[in-house]
Structure 1
Amino acid sequence: YFTLDKAFMYTKPTDEVPLYFSGLGPKGAKLAGMYGDHLMTVAAAPSVLKNVTIPKFEEGAKEAGKDPSKMEHAMLIWYSVDTDYDKAVEGNRFWAGCLVPSMFKYKVYDPKEVQLHANLVHSNTIKENYMCATNAEEMIKEIERFKDAGINHFCLGNSSPNVNAGIDIFKEIIPAVTD
């Protein structure tokens, strides 16, 4: 928490600022629906999103008297694109520490220790939890998988070895995935 002396917001929003509430498992997703304006989740198996996370979010929204059809299902996912698939996978290794449950159980804070744990994560685990692709077509397929599961708002983090290539590829992707 922060305390500010004599702070004043001169330009205030004209509308209420929507609250994106994080929900991963069934309990969190239901609470997100009850207390948030929109769902914010992270990459999970599309079947889990479609059959657990989103239904629980909508259940919570209905219990709170909200219309779930007016609420976004947003997802944060890291991606990496490179013409060499193995390099694309390794581009996401930076985030692999987030895939080690003990990191949270034992509250690891030292970045060097996080990196040590991340280096132990198998490449298959990275492939399962992040988007790794060699071209726009593969990225489009990944985005469509999540859209089919009910995600309608994406927050994509670029971990591509060539950051500019990871941005430029969206010239092809955006027209293909927007309705």
Structure 2
Amino acid sequence: MAHFGYFLSCEEHGPAELVEQARLAEEAGFDCLWISDHYHPWNDQQGQSPFVWSVIGALSEAVSLPVETAVTCPTVRIHPAVIAQAAATSAVQLGGRFRLGVGSGEALNEHILGDAWPETPVRLEMLEEAVAVIRKLLTGEQVSHRGTHYTVENARLYTVPDEPVPIDVSAFGPQAAEVAARIGDGLITMTPDADMVERYRRGGGGVSPVSGGLKVCWGPDREEAVRTVHRLWPNESLPGELPQVLPTPRHFEQACELVTQEQIAESVPCGDDPDAHIEALAAFADAGFDAVYVNQIGKDQRGFFDFYRTKVLPALRG
């Protein structure tokens, strides 16, 4: 596997904490950064949700690592013409070290203006049109567009990077993987699914990068770490389309009453056994991924980074 990255969680941390974590990630030897793009956290226990584009501006001054949104929904809450400007500025600030990760989104973040939340096929159709609009605008040329879902009139970005911003597409099912292969410069997904990788590559993705992400909870007491995950991120264990359609943090809290600590213990690497963490990350390499991004759940970020710097990353690279 080429790269190991750290996944900054805007749902759980404020702007200053995220910038400090980015610094710690660079010092610990991580290669790159993901950062989530939310309007709401998944539940009130997570408790944060800063505006991602402001945080990216701060990251551009704080670290030298590449940064990618994982992921931005450019279809409902924010018009793709505005996302194009945000991505272009981020790429300029980061000196070309920016990738735009996009996806079809969740009602949790996107319904806030009262817009209808479409079915999956419509959301994917909107995503495809939005990406086309963004790519046109990133050229710096004047753009007018009248499509099925979006209108752009006489729009031109004046602050644009020297090279086009790569756009990676998130996918969790076959339909989305086909869209990602057709319109993306890379694939993002959250499970080490070799079949998904193969479907993406066969569908037109070729040798473009495939990136995955996972959450862990390092700590000296494994049972306490499991409790921390169960308190903060039980939504990781929700099945099917629930994460895409539930509209508020309170609805997620209600659904997560069905999630047990036993489920968490089986699905999220917890505790301080290096082998458990190494095995979880290596599963992505075994499935054909080019990069994997890991997020530490909970407050003990310094302990996590020290553990990965000394025990996990050297073993994975060795």
TM over 0.5: yes
Q: Which residue of 1 aligns with 2:173?
A: 25
Moved over 6 A (4+): none
Match of 2:189 among 41, 53, 60: 41
Deviation at 1:162, TM superposition (A): 2.0
CA distance change for structure 1 residues 120 and 164 in 2, over 3 Å: closer, same or farther?
A: farther
Shift of 1:103: 7.4
Deviations along 1:8-62, one digit per CA (max 9) or x if unpaired, are: 957532221111111112222222112111110012xx4xx11x2011111111x
Superposition deviation, residue 98 in structure 1: 4.3
Q: Tell me the number of residue pairs that the alignment of Structure 1 and Structure 2 aligns.
A: 166
Looking at structure 2, the residues matched to 95 and 40 of structure 1 have their Cα atoms a distance apart, in angstroms, of 20
Moved more, 108-117 or 80-89: 108-117
In 1, Cα distance between equivalents of 2:251 and 2:173: 27
> Contact between 1:81 and 1:134, CA under 8 Å: does it hold in 2?
yes
In structure 2, the partner of 1:151 is 289
- TM-score (structure 1 length as normaliser): 0.76
Q: Tell me the amino acid that sits aligned with residue 159 of structure 1.
A: I
Larger RCO of the pair (alpha carbons < 8 Å, separation 6+): 1
Give aligned-pair identity as a percent.
21
Point out where structure 2 has 5 or more consecutive residues left out of the alignment: 1-77, 90-157
CA 1:12/1:105 → structure 2, altered by over 3 Å: closer, same or farther? closer
Closer/same/farther in 2, CA of residues 134 and 105 from structure 1, 3 Å limit: closer
Asked if the contact 2:213/2:293 (under 8 Å) is kept, the reply is yes
What are the equivalent positions in structure 2 for 1:95-174 lying under 5 Å apart? 95-101=233-239, 104=242, 107-172=245-310, 173-174=312-313
Question: How well do the aligned residues superpose, as a CA RMSD in angstroms?
Answer: 2.8
Q: TM-score if structure 2 supplies the norm length?
A: 0.46
Deviation at 1:106, TM superposition (A): 8.9
In the TM superposition, residue 128 of structure 1 has moved relative to its aligned partner by: 4.2
Match of 1:16 in 2: 164
- For residue 145 of structure 1, report the CA deviation from its aligned partner: 1.9
User: Gaps spanning 5+ residues in structure 1: where?
Assistant: none
Partner of 2:198: 55
Once the two structures are TM-superposed, the CA of residue 109 in structure 1 deviates from its matched residue by 3.0
